[in-house]
Structure 1
Amino acid sequence: MTQTPSSPLPADLPPSIHTAYGYVREGIEVAQGWILSPAAWSQFALLVVAYLVARFLAARFLPKVETLLRPADAGAKGALSEARRVAVRFLPLGLPLLAYVFTGLGENVTRSIFGSGAVIAFGKRVFLLLAARALVNSILKDPFLKVLGKYALMPIMILYTLGLLDPAVLKLSQTIVGAGNIKFSLLSVIRGLLAGSVLFWLGRWSTGQSRTYIVAQETMRPATRELASKAAEIAIFGLSFLLLMNIIGMDLSTLAVLGGAIGVGIGFGLQRIASNFISGVILLLEGQATVGDFVELDGGEAGTIVKMTARAAILETYDGRWIVVPNEDFITTRVVNYSDSGSANRYEAAFSVSYDTDINTIPDLINAAVAKHPDILDAPYPPDCELRGFGDSGIDFAVEFWVNGLDEGDNKYTSDVLFLIWNALKDNNIEIPYPHQVVEFKNGLPPVAKA
């Protein structure tokens, strides 16, 4: 096999292997130069001194700083207490950052004396690598950020520490990928993926914070709070998208092509998604149904709206089931809202009395008994007992009453009223009939056969 004059490796090996071998040889030569250089040993000594001083100061002062920052009450709430807890979490960065600062001071000294500072500059990069490692292992708690730090930040810091980051960036910027007329460098793609990941996390976090703040504004109507929350979410993610396009270097005019593709998608397969999104915006603007309302749909589904998304509303029934109802159903079908901002609702309880009863006394007796319930309203109408008909076994009555709320879940209005009716009738010796039949023999009883 033939060999190139500059490399002892066979010439027919891939260029990448020759390049890697060149970097290895260069690293060995640099290491040999450092070992034989008095200036390099002086810089090594300064690195050791800077690390020991940083370790001494960190051991002595960081525990005091932690005691000062940590809130005295572990359960304390508020922005200041939360900021102090966050500051405590960043204390593991103290040691490597102190070493980095002291190394920087030593670098100025060595460069002024020896005119060289390559070793101490490498040491500074090592301390930054240790700071990044502490950030990923001890500070980041969010699973997404932890994965991003482990598989993105750490490789970048390792390349930076070894002095290979600039060559890697140059190589990635020269590698072009794309489809059709759209071309990107591989560096732009990687930068876009990293920036998109960070912006997505920031957008999700910002949306959660803004939603928490908006929901806490009790003076706003529920529909207004929901609309403000959705508007904030759209604004945050829209801004994140524009920032991402700017970071990867995409001309915003090219979004016209993307908009055309989305239009075709809506025309062929996304009509229902678009319809549900627009219906959700209409619901939020009109406020006909919002979070907290108890609604019954035309199909028989009934429950309390616990969440409204861009596509659907989530109903929770009183037996604990969640029903996902598309927003479009609230616009195109009949919806009964039983709890529009706590409006009163009417119910009725039916009962019967015996035919031996003086029915003229029943309305006043029952109205007075039902009115004793603390949740029964006098407005818009007080309890109203009505004669409904003459049944097979007794005379049928029903009492209508109004309450604030629903006769479901924790509320047992109808049950309570029936108990009041039962006790009132029993106290006045009024019989509550039960079903019975009377059999009449027109020609007398049939003869009984004698044994």
Structure 2
Amino acid sequence: MDSVSLIEQAQAAYERGLNTAQEWLISPAAWSQFALLICAYLLARLVNRIMAPRLTKLLTPAEGSNSVFAQARRFILIFLPLLLPLLAYGFTAIGEAVTRSLFGSGAVIAFGKRIFLFLAARALANDILRDPFLRTLARYILVPAAALYAVGFLDAVVAALDGAVVNLGNISFSALAIVRGIVAGSLLFWLGQWSNSQSSAYIEQQPMRPAIRQLATRASEVAIFGIAFLILMNVMGISLSSLAIIGGAVGVGLGFGLQKIASNFISGVILMVEGQATVGDYVELDGGEAGTIIKMLARATILETYDGRWIVVPNEDFITTRVVNYSDSGSANRLEVPFSVSYDTDINRVPDIIEAAVAKHPGVLQEPEGPDCELRGFGDSGIDFGVEFWVNGIDDGPNKYASDVLFLIWNALKENDIEIPYPHRVIEVKGPVQL
């Protein structure tokens, strides 16, 4: 369509609008409809002035209340600015029915009714919506569409967009379908994000294992966006059967090029179901990677080391290699601290002294057994002992079990006058010594 034809259509629309306005100015029926419009608006303002305060008082929940009903009442209260334009729209619709029954015509009052609907859309975009994405969508899609509907051009624009067909292989769709897809896709994506956050928050509150909780979160996310995709295809008018060829090609590509990603995804599901390693566990892999699990994603698991570094480990490594789990959701672990005493010590006293000292540590457990001091051997400089004890957790940055126990051993030996040996060396000098 060239620019000349567009100008001609615009000029013709202008002339039709001018003629319609002139007819309305000299028509008694039009003036009566104008009067009904004014009456409908004034009545809407009166009803709104009476109902708005009462609805506000009725819907405002008690301060500090966060129940489901309180949140629902707050949500409904947000839409209170729509009351006036919607009341005007409803009263105008009644006036239109009366006018058409009396005069057989209601073009003026129908135009006014569409104007009130436009004002409702404008109030929704400017005064109600707070989310930046929804506000942008309302301002640039909803309000222009309501304006076109108010002036009577919406059907013509829709027909023009529906007539522009785009062919892509065996799939054909119109420009209207593209517009619908953009709008519906944006809304569905936003709604999917919101639904996913709500479902994740609900799942996090449920009493279940962390691995099962994460699996449920991922499953709900896949289900939400899968349903959103099916709805979007239906809105755009695209048959799912027409996507079979493309889906087959993508499937072949996935089979050959994305084997590792698929393997890691399935391994992640197995990890979450079995719960052998979950968020918060300290693990060590055969490859030397060690750290606390802070995230379990669809493709990989993220470990955090003592020095704050993140290690991204493919989920497949947790299935195909040996993994040592030091935490296992908070199970007890046995640690050992070695020490030595002098050969001049009465070693029969050492176990009781050390076991009593180590038992004073608040992190040392008495179950499955208390501290156990054992003789390990006779070294070059002293007699070697080792004390074993059980703790919840591991000896890491926050938990300095080995350091604390060594302090307790040092103090206990000093209090009992037991010497901690230092290396002794015997030097043999052959031949005369010259001073």
TM norm. shorter chain > 0.5: yes
> Counterpart of 1:64?
54
Alpha-carbon spacing, 1:304–1:38, altered in 2? closer, same or farther (3 Å):
farther
Alpha-carbon spacing, 1:52–1:445, altered in 2? closer, same or farther (3 Å):
farther
Query: Amino acid of the residue matched to residue 214 of structure 1?
Result: I
SS in 2 for 1:373: coil
Aligned-pair CA distance for 1:272: 2.7
Q: State the distance in 1 between where 2:24 and 2:223 align.
A: 55
Match 1:156 to one of 130, 141, 145: 145
> Counterpart of 1:228?
216
Q: State the distance in 2 between where 1:131 and 1:435 align.
A: 90
Hey, which bits of structure 1, 4+ residues long, moved more than 6 A? 442-445
Match 2:108 to one of 112, 119, 123: 119
> Counterpart of 1:284?
272
Aligned-pair CA distance for 1:115: 2.2
**What is the root-mean-square deviation of aligned Cα atoms in Å?**
2.5
Query: Amino acid of the residue matched to residue 235 of structure 2?
Result: I
Match 2:14 to one of 24, 27, 35: 24
Query: Amino acid of the residue matched to residue 406 of structure 1?
Result: I
Q: What pairs with 1:3-402 in structure 2 (closer than 5 Å)?
A: 14-73=4-63, 75-218=64-207, 220-402=208-390
Q: State the distance in 2 between where 1:122 and 1:318 align.
A: 70
CA deviation vs aligned residue, 1:174-219 (integer Å, no higher than 9, x gap): 111021221112112221222222222222222222222222111x
Aligned-pair CA distance for 1:443: 6.7
SS in 1 for 2:292: strand
Aligned-pair CA distance for 1:83: 1.0
Alpha-carbon spacing, 1:325–1:70, altered in 2? closer, same or farther (3 Å):
farther
SS in 1 for 2:273: helix
Of 409-418 and 209-218, the range deviating more from structure 2: 409-418
Q: State the distance in 1 between where 2:378 and 2:351 align.
A: 16
Aligned-pair CA distance for 1:13: 5.2
CA contact (8 A) 2:283 2:327 kept: yes
Alpha-carbon spacing, 1:414–1:64, altered in 2? closer, same or farther (3 Å):
farther
Of 307-316 and 336-345, the range deviating more from structure 2: 307-316
Aligned-pair CA distance for 1:333: 3.1
Aligned-pair CA distance for 1:366: 0.9
Alpha-carbon spacing, 1:49–1:320, altered in 2? closer, same or farther (3 Å):
farther
Alpha-carbon spacing, 1:78–1:433, altered in 2? closer, same or farther (3 Å):
farther
Q: State the distance in 2 between where 1:117 and 1:363 align.
A: 104
Q: State the distance in 1 between where 2:237 and 2:87 align.
A: 37
SS in 1 for 2:375: strand
Q: State the distance in 2 between where 1:23 and 1:116 align.
A: 21
Alpha-carbon spacing, 1:27–1:334, altered in 2? closer, same or farther (3 Å):
farther
CA deviation vs aligned residue, 1:116-171 (integer Å, no higher than 9, x gap): 21111111111111111121222222222222222222222121111111111111
Q: State the distance in 1 between where 2:308 and 2:43 align.
A: 62
Alpha-carbon spacing, 1:421–1:167, altered in 2? closer, same or farther (3 Å):
same
Q: Percent identity of the aligned residues?
A: 66
SS in 2 for 1:77: coil
CA deviation vs aligned residue, 1:21-46 (integer Å, no higher than 9, x gap): 22222222222222222222222222
Q: State the distance in 2 between where 1:115 and 1:62 align.
A: 35
Query: Amino acid of the residue matched to residue 41 of structure 1?
Result: W
Query: Amino acid of the residue matched to residue 86 of structure 2?
Result: L
Q: State the distance in 2 between where 1:313 and 1:157 align.
A: 49
Q: State the distance in 2 between where 1:88 and 1:436 align.
A: 85
Q: Which consecutive unaligned segments of at least 5 residues does structure 2 have? A: none
Query: Amino acid of the residue matched to residue 69 of structure 2?
Result: L
Aligned-pair CA distance for 1:79: 0.8
SS in 1 for 2:283: strand
Alpha-carbon spacing, 1:354–1:309, altered in 2? closer, same or farther (3 Å):
same
**Number of matched pairs:** 435
Query: Amino acid of the residue matched to residue 77 of structure 1?
Result: N
Aligned-pair CA distance for 1:57: 3.1
The TM-score, its normalising length taken from structure 1, stands at: 0.88
CA deviation vs aligned residue, 1:81-104 (integer Å, no higher than 9, x gap): 211211121111111112112222
Query: Amino acid of the residue matched to residue 130 of structure 2?
Result: K
> Counterpart of 1:403?
391
Q: State the distance in 2 between where 1:427 and 1:303 align.
A: 38
SS in 2 for 1:341: coil
Q: State the distance in 2 between where 1:303 and 1:182 align.
A: 50
Aligned-pair CA distance for 1:320: 4.1
CA contact (8 A) 2:354 2:412 kept: yes
Query: Amino acid of the residue matched to residue 77 of structure 2?
Result: V
